[in-house]
Amino acid sequence: MIWKRTLATLSSTLMSAGVSLALVLGAWLAFIEYFSVNPMVVRSPLDVWAYLFTQEEAAAHRSLVWEGLRITLVDAGFGLVAGLVAATVVAMLFVLSTAAEQAFLPVAMIMRSVPLVAMTPVITLIFGRELLATTVICGIVVFFPALVNIVLGLRSASPQSVDLVRAYGGGTWTALRKVLIPSALPSFFTSARISAPGAIVGAMLAEWLATGKGLGYRMLQDVSTFESDDLWTSVVVITLASLLIYSLIGIVENIVLARFGRVQN
């Protein structure tokens, strides 16, 4: 039964991704057609396809784009995991201790109000210019929205279910494991889906301002050197990667929620 639901979810996800891709392509072509943008600046989908697959140096182009994408996705992946784990731990602390929430939530909101661009140089000075710095920057992007969603998810648990666990002798951690965390799973996966594209943007920001590596830094170089083919190809590739990751998280979400009897319609 779970596998049938998984296949149905996969089909639905692929269909949604196809529709999204078609809409993006349509908007791209319409933008080129109706705004008469300078062809030296804008590239069409056919230009991107030629750059990657039909030009004489297409293999070299693919290699360069793939290497930059790999670095960016690794940076974003570490940041996404770190941000979600930190948000989950802090959310559980807030739910278990009102005093902790009252003490630290205002601090978190103040930090959230500081532009990440302004914080990046400080983070770079503290953590260096390698993977740790990009993980921290991406983690900050992920942490704050995930924290709010996961706290709301933990608090959405049925009080009657918590009381039942306590009536059978279960403690706070048992209620957390048996009731609160399963109730928060939809919120957790929603946070993951929303945060994944944000983590990629955070990774590219770190590459622009700190590490000098990855697809983000290549795009900055492309702007400086007017390499429009490579720039537009990088934009397309990172957009497709974001869409794919979003879809994959949705598939994992449905598998996990089916396991816990919380299938989303």
pLDDT attached to residue 9: 65
Q: CA 153, CA 150: separation in Å to the nearest integer?
A: 5
At residue 42, the 3 state secondary structure works out as coil
- Half-sphere exposure at residue 17, Cβ-oriented, CA atoms within 13 angstroms: 19
C-alpha dist (Å) from residue 10 to 13, 32, 100, 158, 194: 5, 33, 41, 30, 19
- Domain locations along the chain: 2-259
pLDDT attached to residue 66: 93
Tokens in use for 131? Answer: 């993977």
Instruction: Determine contact, residues 149/140, Cβ cutoff 8 Å.
Output: no
Q: CATH homologous superfamily for 2-259?
A: MetI-like (1.10.3720.10)
- Tens of pLDDT, residue by residue over 228-252, are 899 999 999 998 999 889 888 988 8
Average pLDDT over residues 76-80: 94
Judged against a pLDDT cut of 60, whether residue 2 lies above it is answered with no
DSSP 179: I
pLDDT attached to residue 88: 94
At residue 169, the 3 state secondary structure works out as coil
- Tens of pLDDT, residue by residue over 19-68, are 878 888 888 888 887 877 777 778 888 899 999 998 889 999 999 999 99
Residues whose CB is less than 8 angstroms from the CB of residue 127 and which lie 6 or more positions away in sequence, other chains included: 133, 136
pLDDT band for position 263 (50/70/90)?
A: very low
More confident residue, 191 or 12: 191
Average pLDDT over residues 196-213: 88
- Tens of pLDDT, residue by residue over 107-146, are 777 777 777 777 888 888 888 888 888 999 999 999 988 9
More confident residue, 189 or 224: 189
What residue type is assigned to position 190 of the chain?
Answer: T
Average pLDDT over residues 157-174: 83
More confident residue, 138 or 100: 138
Residues whose CB is less than 8 angstroms from the CB of residue 87 and which lie 6 or more positions away in sequence, other chains included: 142, 143, 144, 146, 147, 150, 191
Judged against a pLDDT cut of 80, whether residue 174 lies above it is answered with yes
pLDDT attached to residue 265: 43
DSSP 215: H
Average pLDDT over residues 193-214: 89
Task: Write out 93-105 in H/E/C secondary structure.
Answer: HHHHCHHHHHHHH
DSSP 198: H
Tokens in use for 39? Answer: 């062809």
Buried b (16+ CB within 10 A) or exposed e, 150-174: bbebbeebeeeebeebeeeebeeee
Instruction: Determine contact, residues 229/51, Cβ cutoff 8 Å.
Output: yes
Q: CA 206, CA 196: separation in Å to the nearest integer?
A: 15
What DSSP assignment string belongs to 43-108?
--HHHHHIIIIISTTHHHHHHHHHHHHHHHHHHHHHHHHHHHHHHHHHHHHHHH-HHHHHHHHHHH
Judged against a pLDDT cut of 80, whether residue 81 lies above it is answered with yes
